[in-house]
Amino acid sequence: MVDRVMTKSALAESLEQLAATLHVAAPVEEGGRVMFRRVRYAAELANHYLPTMLPPTKYARPPHEELLRFSWAEGPRVEPVFEAEEIVIFGVRPCDMHAFDLLDQIFSEENSDGHYQARREALTLIGMECLEPCDEHSFCRSMGSLEATGGFDLLLSEMGDGYYVRVGTAKGRALIGTFQDAREAVYEDRKRLRKTCLRRESQFEHRLEDTYDELPRVLADSEDSLLWDVLGEKCLSCGACTNVCPTCFCFDVHDDVNLDLKSGRRRRHWDSCQLEEFAMVGTGESFRQPRNLRVKHRFNHKGRYLMERYGVPGCVGCGRCARDCLVGISPIEVFNQLKGQPVER
Amino acid sequence: MYEALQVHKRPRVAIFELASCAGCQLQILNLEDELVDVLGLVEFVYFKEAMSNSSDEYDLALIEGSVTRESDAEKCRTVRERATLVGTLGSCAYPVGIPGLKNHGDVEAAAGIVYGEKADLFASHPVLPVDAVIDVDFRVLGCPIDKKDFLETLTALLLGRKPPSPTYPVCVECRIAENSCAFDRGETCLGPFTRAGCGALCPSYGGRCYGCRGPADDPNVLSMQALLEEHGLTPEQIAADFALYNGYERGA
Amino acid sequence: MTVVNIQADTKLHLESPFLPAPAEIVRKDRLNDTETLYQLRLADGTELGQLPGQFVEVSVFGIGEAPFSVSSSPTRGDAFELCIRRVGDVTSALERLALGEHIGIRGPLGRGFPLEQMRGRNVLIIAGGLGIVPLRSLITNILDEREDFSNVTILYGCKTPKELLFRDELNRWQAREDIDFRITTDIAEPGWKGNVGPVTTLFRRLAVDPRNTVPVMVGPPVMFKHVVKQVLACGIPEDRIILSLERRMKCGIGECGHCQINGIYVCQDGPVFTYAELKRLEEAML
A28-33 mean pLDDT? 88
What's C27's domain CATH number? 2.40.30.10
For the cut 60, the answer to whether the pLDDT of residue B195 exceeds it is yes
**How far A262 CA sits from the closest chain B CA (Å)?**
10
Q: What digits encode the pLDDT tens for the residues C103-156?
A: 999 999 999 999 999 999 999 999 999 999 999 999 999 999 999 999 999 999
**Strands B43-47 and B60-64: what pairing?**
unpaired
Q: Mean pLDDT, chain A, as a whole number?
A: 91
Sheet order of strands, A154-159 included? A33-39, A23-30, A87-92, A123-128, A154-159, A162-167, A4-7, A183-184
- Global pTM? 0.93
Phi (first) and psi of residue A203, to 5 degrees: -75, -35
Same structural domain for residues C273 and C181? yes
Which of the residues C59, C61, C63, C91 would you substitute to probe the B interface, choosing the one with the greatest number of B C-beta atoms within 10 Å?
A: C63
Nearest alpha-carbon partner for A163 in A199, A189, A201: A189
CB-count burial class (<10 Å; 0-12, 13-18, 19+) for A270: buried
Closest CA to C26 of C72, C57, C64: C72
In this structure, the number of other CB atoms found within 10 A of the CB of residue A160 comes to 10
- Structural domains of chain C, count: 2
Contact in structure between B64 and B145 (CB atoms under 8 Å): no
Count of other CB atoms within 10 angstroms of residue C37: 19
Measured between CB atoms, does A280 come within 8 Å of chain B?
A: no
Interface B-C, measured as beta-carbon pairs within 8 A, has a size of: 21
Split at pLDDT 50, 70, 90, the class of A99 is: very high
Distance CA B106, CA A128 (A): 63
| Cα distances (Å, whole numbers) of residue B126 to B157, B211, C171 | 32, 20, 63
Please tell me whether residues C188 and C96 are part of one structural domain.
Answer: no
Residues B128-170: pLDDT tens digits?
A: 999 999 999 999 999 999 999 999 999 999 999 999 889 999 9
Select the residue from B161, B162, B167 to test the C interface by mutation, using most C Cβ atoms within 10 A: B161
Residue B109 near residue B115, CB atoms below 8 Å: no
Q: What is the CATH number of the domain that holds C146?
A: 3.40.50.80
C20: pLDDT strictly greater than 70:
yes
Mean pLDDT of the A95-114 span? 93
Indicate if C159 and C181 belong to the same structural domain: yes
- Whether C4 shows a pLDDT value over 60: the answer reads no
Q: What is the dihedral of CA B79, B83, B84, B87, to 10 degrees?
A: -50
Nearest chain C residue (CA) to B2: C89
pLDDT band for A344, please (50, 70, 90 cuts): very low
Is C170 part of any domain? yes
Q: What is the pLDDT of residues C212-228, one digit of tens each?
A: 999 999 998 889 999 99
- Confirm or reject contact between A239 and chain B (CB < 8 A): yes
- Decide if B77 contacts B133 (C-beta within 8 A): yes
Compute the distance between CA of residue A173 and CA of residue A182 in angstroms, rounded to an integer: 11
Q: How many angstroms away from the CA of B128 is the closest CA of chain A?
A: 28
Say whether residue A59 is in contact with chain B using an 8 A CB cutoff: no
How many helices, marked H, and strands, marked E, lie in chain C? 7, 16
Chains within contact range of chain B (3+ C-beta pairs < 8 Å): A, C
| B1: pLDDT strictly greater than 80 | no
Of B38, B164, B178, the CB nearest to A259: B38
Sign for the pseudo-dihedral over CA of C117, C123, C128, C134? positive
Confidence at A1, pLDDT banded by 50, 70, 90? low
Calculate mean pLDDT across residues C267-278: 94
Question: In the β-sheet with A64-71, what is the strand arrangement from edge to edge?
Answer: A77-80, A64-71, A263-270, A251-257
- pLDDT at residue C271 is higher than 80: yes
The chains found to touch C (3+ Cβ pairs under 8 angstroms) are A, B
Whether residue C128 is found in the same domain as residue C75: no
Residues 6+ apart with CB under 8 A from A90: A15, A24, A25, A26, A39, A45, A126, A128
The interface pTM score, or ipTM, of the predicted complex is 0.91
Query: What is the structure's pLDDT at A341?
Result: 60
Q: Searching chain B, which residue's CA lies closest to the CA of residue C61?
A: B159
Asked if pLDDT for residue A345 goes beyond 80, the answer is: no
Which residue type occupies A18? L
Pick from A82, A85, A115, A261 the residue to mutate for testing the C interface (most C CBs within 10 Å): A82
- Beta bridge partner(s), residue C250: none
Q: Is C256 in the same domain as C123?
A: yes
Domain final position from C78, C109, C140: C109
Q: Which amino acid makes up residue C208?
A: V
Identify all chain C residues contacting B138, using CB atoms and an 8 Å cutoff.
none
3-class secondary structure, B193 = coil
Same domain, yes or no: C206 and C223: yes
Residue C245 belongs to domain spanning? 115-284
Are the CB atoms for A206 and A286 separated by under 8 Å? no
- Domain end among C53, C86, C109: C109
pLDDT digits (tens, 9 = 90+) for A132-167: 899 999 999 999 999 988 889 999 999 988 999 999
Q: Mutating which of A236, A260, A267 best tests the B interface, going by the most B Cβ atoms within 10 A?
A: A236
Does pLDDT of C2 surpass 50?
no
Domain range annotation of chain A: 4-203, 212-340
Backbone angles phi, psi at B161, to 5 degrees: -120, 150
C-alpha gyration radius of chain C: 20
- CATH homologous superfamily, domain B2-158: NADH:ubiquinone oxidoreductase-like, 20kDa subunit (3.40.50.700)
Distance from CA of A9 to the nearest CA of B (A): 30
Q: Which residue ranges make up each domain of chain B?
A: 2-158, 170-243
Cβ pair B160:C88 closer than 8 A:
no
Q: What is the pLDDT of residue A98?
A: 96
Of the candidates C18, C66, C285, which has its C-beta nearest A287's C-beta?
C285
Residue C131 lies in a domain: yes
Chain B contact for A286, CB < 8 A?
no
The CA–CA distances, whole Å, from B121 to A26, A202, B21, B111, B114 equal 65, 80, 22, 10, 12
pLDDT band for position C284 (cuts 50, 70, 90): confident
Positive or negative: CA dihedral C80, C82, C83, C89: negative
Predicted local confidence at residue B123, as pLDDT: 81
User: Which residues on chain A are in Cβ contact (under 8 Å) with C25?
Assistant: none
Residue C122's identity, in one-letter code, is N
Q: Does B187 touch chain A (CB under 8 A)?
A: no
Q: Which of A154, A164, A199, A170 is nearest to A184 (CA)?
A: A164
In this complex, do B171 and A275 lie within 8 Å of one another by their Cβ atoms? Answer: no
Residue C39 lies in a domain: yes
The average pLDDT across C228-249 equals 92
Q: What is the mean pLDDT of residues C233-256?
A: 92
List the one residue out of C40, C33, C23 whose CA is nearest residue C77.
C40
Q: What are phi and psi of A58, to 5 degrees?
A: -60, -20
Task: Provide the percentage of residues in chain B whose pLDDT is more than 90.
Answer: 79
Q: What is the structure's pLDDT at A47?
A: 81
Of A145, A98, A146, A143, whose CA–CA distance to A125 is shortest?
A98
What pLDDT is attached to residue C159?
93
> Is a pLDDT exceeding 80 seen at residue C11?
no
**Is residue B7 predicted with pLDDT exceeding 80?**
no
Q: What is the DSSP letter of A110?
A: I
